[in-house]
Amino acid sequence: MTAVAFLFGVMDGMKVAGFDHYLPAAIEYLPLNAQNLAWLIPSSIVLIIAIIIDKVRK
pLDDT tens per residue across all 58 residues of the chain = 688 888 888 888 888 898 888 888 888 888 888 887 888 888 899 999 999 999 999 7
- The pTM of the full predicted model, rounded to 2 decimals, is 0.71
Domain count within the chain: 1
Residues 44, 22: Cα–Cα separation, whole Å:
26
| pLDDT score for 50 | 93
Residues 26, 17: Cα–Cα separation, whole Å:
18
Range of the domain at 34: 2-57
| pLDDT score for 3 | 87
What Å distances lie between residue 51 and 1, 16, 21, 41, 46, CA to CA? 11, 32, 36, 15, 9
